[in-house]
């Protein structure tokens, strides 16, 4: 072993699992760009595995599956089993940290941060870093646990947007100086696209089919578009989640041109199939798909939430935003875009301007350097 290897800092990333989601994709991007001469990385999950395990294994880092899986929102038994086995999962994490002599722990919500930060504290790890990725409303019990096991015990918190930083400060009274904002980064070369203006034939959403992401808002708007405006473009639901069954039931009886494609690994490929992207989230910590859609030059409309205004960085871009949860206004906006080439051109102009003036804030190399500086 040479001197450089001896000086490597040992980093343990603690994740929930390897499901297809924004958090997992963010961590995959960070790990793939960390300087391997500076960091020796290992990965632990606390809620089993998932479809992205193969992508993480390609990085060549050791992986530890410390806790059992449970099916989000579907199997009460598996959740109860996971809770019962939590002490065992915690001790496994502590054992791993002590055995490989971890210098720093990096973790994310929600099971992973509670167990990861607590285990790191108990194992004597000096740097305990939480990456807070959302602004979810928690029950009083979960809010209490989060405060004392994650927020207080962490030595540094990374917020993925200013909106998330405000949420942390307001919800848990965390010191602002403990929190650093680092935006998720995008591989520009992967998502840059040359689109020729043309007829809009496909409208779609990309993301988990969960209530917080608003897929039901999109489904109702698509139905309203057909019944009230007599327009029925192809409709794509790209993603999976607990709402898929109810959405299929709602859509199948009223829309003949809707398709559910499930979880996908290649987001870029599916964005290229969508002419008009809708991002109807009720709440977001960031909204990776919004940035990816803008870089892909999809025509786009999104819900008017704080972090989307932060990403767009222009209060006057009302053409891109609609009131949160209002499917009727969304349907009206979609109808106007579909039938009005001039409105389409206005949207294209705003997207081109955003790429030129704002996209640099979300460069993946900039993100990687920021993480490396903080971890180092």
Residue 115 reports pLDDT greater than 80: yes
Residue whose tokens read 């209060």 = 315
Q: Which helix (H) or strand (E) holds 204?
A: strand 202-206
CA angle 7, 9, 11 (to 5 degrees): 160
- Which pLDDT score, from 0 to 100, does residue 75 have? 66
Closest among 91, 97, 105 to 27, alpha carbons compared? 105
Mean pLDDT of the chain: 93
- Which pLDDT score, from 0 to 100, does residue 78 have? 82
Residues 102 and 241 occupy one common structural domain: no
Question: Which CATH number does the domain housing residue 11 bear?
Answer: 3.40.50.2000
Domain that holds residue 38: 3-181
Residues 150 and 203 occupy one common structural domain: no
- 257 inside domain: yes
Residues 96 and 203 occupy one common structural domain: no
Condensed to tens digits (0 to 9), the pLDDT of residues 19-61 reads 888 899 999 999 999 999 999 999 999 999 999 999 999 999 9
Whole-Å CA distances, 231 to 78, 208, 216, 226, 335: 44, 26, 18, 5, 7
Residue 194 reports pLDDT greater than 90: no
Residues 154 and 8 occupy one common structural domain: yes
Residues 207 and 319 occupy one common structural domain: yes
- Integer Cα distance of 12 and 116 in angstroms: 9
Residue 317 reports pLDDT greater than 80: no
Main-chain phi, psi angles of 90, to 5 degrees: -60, -45
Q: Provide the token pair at 275.
A: 């002419």
Report the pLDDT averaged over residues 69-90: 82
DSSP for 43-54, please give it.
EEESS---TTHH
Report the pLDDT averaged over residues 103-107: 98
Report the pLDDT averaged over residues 266-272: 92
Residues 281 and 347 occupy one common structural domain: yes
Number of folded domains that form the chain: 2
Residue 362 reports pLDDT greater than 80: yes
Condensed to tens digits (0 to 9), the pLDDT of residues 224-247 reads 999 999 999 999 999 999 999 999
Residue 307 reports pLDDT greater than 50: yes
- CB-count exposure of residue 187 (10 Å: 0-12, 13-18, 19+): middle
Residues 291 and 336 occupy one common structural domain: yes
- Report helix, strand or coil for 311: helix
Report the pLDDT averaged over residues 298-308: 95
Report the pLDDT averaged over residues 324-344: 96
Q: Which residues contact 81 (CB under 8 A, 6 or more apart)?
A: 68, 70
- 270 inside domain: yes
Q: Provide the token pair at 227.
A: 């019944």
Report the pLDDT averaged over residues 134-146: 94
Positive or negative: CA dihedral 48, 51, 53, 56: negative
Q: How confident is the model at residue 73 (pLDDT cuts 50, 70, 90)?
A: low
Report the pLDDT averaged over residues 278-285: 97
Positive or negative: CA dihedral 312, 314, 317, 322: positive
- 369 inside domain: no
- 64 inside domain: yes
- Integer Cα distance of 262 and 245 in angstroms: 11
Residues 261 and 144 occupy one common structural domain: no
Percentage, residues of the chain above pLDDT 90? 85
Positive or negative: CA dihedral 313, 315, 316, 317: positive
- Which pLDDT score, from 0 to 100, does residue 10 have? 98
- Round the CA-based radius of gyration of the chain to a whole number and report it: 21
Closest among 39, 37, 43, 34 to 12, alpha carbons compared? 43
Residue whose tokens read 């993100």 = 367
- Which pLDDT score, from 0 to 100, does residue 76 have? 79
**Domain stops at, among 181, 205, 220:** 181
Residues 162 and 18 occupy one common structural domain: yes
Q: How confident is the model at residue 3 (pLDDT cuts 50, 70, 90)?
A: very low
The CA-based dihedral angle spanning residues 218, 22, 66, 36, taken in that order and rounded to the nearest 10 degrees? 170
Report the pLDDT averaged over residues 93-106: 98
Q: How confident is the model at residue 191 (pLDDT cuts 50, 70, 90)?
A: confident
Residues 195 and 321 occupy one common structural domain: yes
């Amino acid at each position: 072993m040479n001197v450089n290897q001896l000086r490597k800092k040992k980093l343990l990333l603690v994740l929930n699992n390897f499901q297809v989601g924004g958090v997992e994709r963010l961590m995959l991007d960070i790990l793939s760009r960390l300087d391997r001469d500076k960091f020796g990385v290992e990965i632990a999950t606390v809620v089993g595995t998932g479809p992205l395990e193969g992508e993480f294994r390609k990085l060549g880092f050791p992986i530890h599956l410390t806790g059992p899986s449970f099916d989000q929102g579907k199997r009460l038994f598996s959740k109860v089993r996971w809770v019962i086995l939590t002490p065992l999962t915690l001790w496994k994490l502590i054992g791993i940290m002590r055995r490989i002599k971890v210098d720093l722990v990096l973790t994310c919500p929600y099971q992973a941060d509670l167990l990861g930060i607590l285990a790191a504290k108990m194992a004597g790890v000096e740097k305990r870093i939480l990456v807070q990725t959302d602004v979810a409303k928690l029950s009083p019990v979960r809010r209490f646990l989060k405060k004392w096991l994650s927020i207080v015990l962490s030595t540094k918190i990374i917020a993925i947007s200013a909106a998330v930083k405000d949420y942390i400060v307001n919800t848990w009274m965390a010191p602002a100086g403990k929190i650093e904002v680092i935006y998720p980064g995008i591989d520009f070369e992967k998502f840059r696209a040359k689109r020729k203006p043309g007829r809009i034939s496909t409208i779609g959403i990309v993301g988990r089919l969960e209530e917080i992401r608003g897929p039901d808002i999109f489904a109702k708007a698509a139905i309203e578009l057909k019944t009230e405006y007599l327009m029925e473009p192809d409709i794509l639901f790209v993603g999976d989640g607990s709402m898929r069954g109810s959405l299929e039931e709602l859509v199948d009886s009223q829309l003949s041109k809707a398709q559910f494609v499930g979880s996908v690994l290649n987001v870029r490929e599916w964005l290229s199939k969508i002419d008009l992207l809708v991002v109807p989230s009720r709440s977001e910590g960031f909204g990776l798909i919004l940035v990816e859609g803008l870089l892909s030059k999809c025509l786009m409309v999104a819900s008017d939430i704080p972090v989307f205004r932060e990403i767009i960085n222009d209060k006057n871009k009302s053409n891109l935003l609609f009131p949160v949860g209002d499917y009727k206004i969304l349907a009206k906006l979609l109808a106007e875009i579909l039938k009005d080439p001039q409105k389409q051109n206005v949207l294209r102009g705003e997207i081109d301007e955003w790429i030129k003036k704002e996209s640099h804030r979300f460069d993946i190399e900039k993100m990687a350097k920021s993480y490396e500086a903080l971890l180092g």
